[in-house]
Every structure is written in C-alpha cells, then in structure tokens.
Amino acid sequence: MAEKMLEVKDLKVYYEIKKGLAQTFFGKPQVLRAVDGVSFHIDRGEILSLVGESGSGKTTTGKAILQLAPASGGSILFDGEEIAGKKDLSEFRKKAQMIYQDPYQSLNPRQYISDIVGEPLDVNGLVTTQEERNERIREALESAGLTPADDYLYRRPFELSGGQRQRAAIAGSLIMKPEFVVADEPVSMLDASIRTGIVKMMLEQRDKKGVAYLFITHDLSLAWLISDRIAIMYLGKIMEIGTAHEIIKNPKHPYTQALLDIMPVPGKVLTEKRRILEGETPNAGTEVRGCKFCGRCPVAMEICGQVEPENKEVSPGHFVMCHKYTAGAE
C-alpha cells in the first residue's frame, strides 16, 4: 500500500474583510472564505494536481499547507505530525518547499544566482565550508537543467530568460532536497516549448528521488498528463477528486464536465458548439447556501440551493460533492 506523506483534513482559511468605521462597530464583519473545508492526502512520490479557475483557492491551499498563510481551522499532518499552528517549523521547512508562479517576482534582481539558490543552505546552517556550499549549488542548478552550472553562478536574474529564471527558482527549492513540493502554476508564464523541459525535470525528480508534488494549475490537460490524481476546486471547495484517468474519462461533477468540455483534444475536429458556463463565480466573501456551484450548474435541482452536498465515494478513490450522487438521488 502507498505511504501517506501529507494528510489535509477540513482545512479552512478565512479572512475578515474590514470596511467602514460604522460597520466595524455596529455591523457584522464580512468573511472571505478562501478555503472552506478542504480534505485530501498525498502519498510519497505522488503528484496530485489541484485544478480550478482563478480565485478558487488553489494557491491559498498550497500556502496554508506550508504555513505561509494562516489556517483558520482544520488539520495538516506531514509524516504523521501536526503542522498547523506549530511554532518550530525548521525541520518541516527542510522537507517541504514551494515553487512560485512568477520567476520575475520571486527572484531578487540584485543578487547573484549563486546567492539566491544558496540562501536556504545559509539560513538553515546546512553547510560548514564555502567549497561544500558551492558544490551543493552546482548540483541544484544542474538538477534544474542549468548546465554547465558555472555559467550561471554569477549571473543576475535579468541576465536570464524566463525559462532559465524558473529553473533557477526550482533549483532554490531542490537544493534542500525536499520530500514534498508545492508547485504553484510553475509553467503558466512560459512558452510551450520551455514548459516541456520544466515538467520533464519535475517528473525526473519524482522518479529518481521520490519527490511528491501538489501541482497547482488551471490547465486540466496538463494535469492529466503529469498527475497520479486530480482534485477539482471551486470557490474554496474540492468538488471532485480521483485518479487522473477517472477524472478525465468518467467525470461526475457538472463543473468538472464543463472544464473538460473546453479542453482541446489533439486530432479531434470540433463539430459541436462548446458548452460554456453561464454566470460568474460568486464572491468568496458572500456566504453561499447549499452547493457553491448551484448558481452556474446546468442541472441544478431545488435541493442544491438549500443543502450542501456530501462528499460521496462513487467508485474506489473517486469522490464527488453533488446531490446527483447522494443516497436516493441517482
């Protein structure tokens, strides 16, 4: 059986929206539910993709797991140890890292690449000599595809292309030799030709070193190619989760089906008009009664606007939050 590395149970991230002075003293504070009760697990060496529209809470979920955003509730177990609310995260930081979406913002333009990549070693006191530090930096750069490493040590970010910048950012995460990585849209800003190399490198790290990933993306087709499992997120909730094959070939939730309907299929000529979701995603600061997708769902029933659906297992390992699959509703 697969070994669970990460378990997230009923994770919540709420932010209070502050408004005028009168509402501060006399009104009810408005709460933005960025993540509203999310549960999933990731096995050692597994890639779980978190897919959804912008504003669905994907990035906030990843940051909350790494304790880069404050969790309002729930449990985060890493190797069986509770992480949520823990004060000393030094050992956890060595095992879990994050790759940010924008390499133009995440890299300090004034620093050399060697200083950017080597900073985690300095902060955690993992090397004792300059020679050891340089060797670890070279190893990380070459693992990220920047070869020969000596050509990049004393360059600054503005001297690199977008793909090289992202590889440098990845090297800064890999230098800690992490067991788990949150990859937040790591290829969304890159050309298609460069994306392939970045994704291939991440898969090599998984295959050779057993690195597990939470891969955050809005691109369902990319998630299908690289993932072991896929979780579909909407307005702070995971609507459906299962193996990549099940999600693509046997989608259950209407939101998943809508995402699949606009996904391009190579070699297939479009003969029918694509079904496009009507309406806009509700404001996360507005409390939604019942199913959060109800207002845009093409098959919504009366109960959908009144009661939140349960998370039901429709086949082994395949869960969906939809009243169509609750007891007696199929």
Domain ranges of the chain: 4-325
pLDDT at position 102, please?
A: 83
pLDDT at position 256, please?
A: 94
What 3 state SS string does the chain have?
A: CCCEEEEEEEEEEEEEECCCHHHHHHCCCEEEEEEEEEEEEEECCCEEEEECCCCCCHHHHHHHHCCCCCCCEEEEEECCEECCCCCCCHHHHHHEEEECCCHHHHCCCCCCHHHHHHHHHHHHCCCCCHHHHHHHHHHHHHHCCCCCHHHCCCCCHHHCCHHHHHHHHHHHHHCCCCCEEEEECCCCCCCHHHHHHHHHHHHHHHHHHCCEEEEEECCHHHHHHHCCEEEEEECCEEEEEEEHHHHHHCCCCHHHHHHHHCCCCCCCCCCCCCCCCCCCCCCCCCCCCCCCCHHHCCCCCHHHHCCCCCEEEEECCEEEECHHHCCCCC
Tokens matching residue 272: 């029918």
How far apart, in whole angstroms, are the C-alpha atoms of residue 9 and residue 74? 6
Cα–Cα distances in angstroms (integers) from residue 38 to residues 65, 72, 219, in the given order: 11, 12, 20
Please give the single-letter amino acid code of residue 96.
A
pLDDT at position 126, please?
A: 84
pLDDT at position 275, please?
A: 64
Q: Are 132 and 124 in contact (CB under 8 A)?
A: no
Class of domain 4-325: alpha beta
pLDDT at position 326, please?
A: 74
Which residues of the chain have a pLDDT value below 50?
A: 328, 330
pLDDT at position 266, please?
A: 59
pLDDT at position 330, please?
A: 47
How far apart, in whole angstroms, are the C-alpha atoms of residue 314 and residue 13? 28
